[in-house]
Amino acid sequence: MDKICVSIFANDFDFCIEIVKKYEFVELRLDERKLSNTQISEIIKAGKSIITTCRRGYISDEERFDTLHAAVNLGTEYIDIEHDFEPAYKNKLVDSAKANECRIINSYHNFDVTPEYQELAQIAKSLENDCDIIKIACKVNSRDDLINLLPLYKEFELGKLISLGIGNLGKISRVAALILGAPFTYASSDKGIETSEGQLDYITLKQIYERIK
């Protein structure tokens, strides 16, 4: 499996089909829930390896639950469950994912700051149960923030953690991820259509990895 996951906002059906056929590993951001279950099913079936994500802020927790639960039943390989998801919904998603052999990413995002190392380590360890992968993503406002983000990898076994910086100063963390032990990292399908600030496009990230092998 490709270790670069292409992340897209899944708002346009034809674009999603194009991307999942072009790339081996894709994250579908269904934040705005503009696709029907039938369309989501077709996208998942057309793809090879799919992460289904539905971030907070656009629709209710109930709608987010319904979206992720449907994706599990439709055959997505991964679902991303945010740390502050309503516990009752989260527990149901975990049970459903396990029953359907769907892998779970427990994620924590902080779009304002990067907490101090000890706090980050505690947050990451609190997410360790009932998941296959822990994802930590925080806004990097200074280079010192990277000193808190990148050493997190030593707290976990190889392939358990993805620790990424949000913003231009966090770009290096997206390159360093695979070197430090992340199972994969994220990229945009092209320049200008990033799903996260500081995200590199697939071609650029692929070229960097090929040069440092």
For the entire predicted model, the pTM comes to 0.96
Closest CA to 132 of 96, 92, 105: 105
Closest CA to 104 of 58, 150, 72: 72
**Calpha distance 76→71 (Å, rounded):** 6
Does the domain at 4-107+171-212 match CATH 3.40.50.1980? Answer given as no
The ranges assigned to domains in the chain are 4-107+171-212
Q: Give the pLDDT of the chain (213 residues) as one tens digit per residue.
A: 699 999 999 999 999 999 999 999 999 999 999 999 999 999 999 999 999 999 999 999 999 999 999 999 999 999 999 999 999 999 999 999 999 999 999 999 999 999 999 999 999 999 999 999 999 999 999 999 999 999 999 999 999 999 999 999 999 999 999 999 999 999 999 999 999 999 999 999 999 999 987
Q: What is the pLDDT of residue 53?
A: 98
Closest CA to 206 of 180, 182, 185: 185
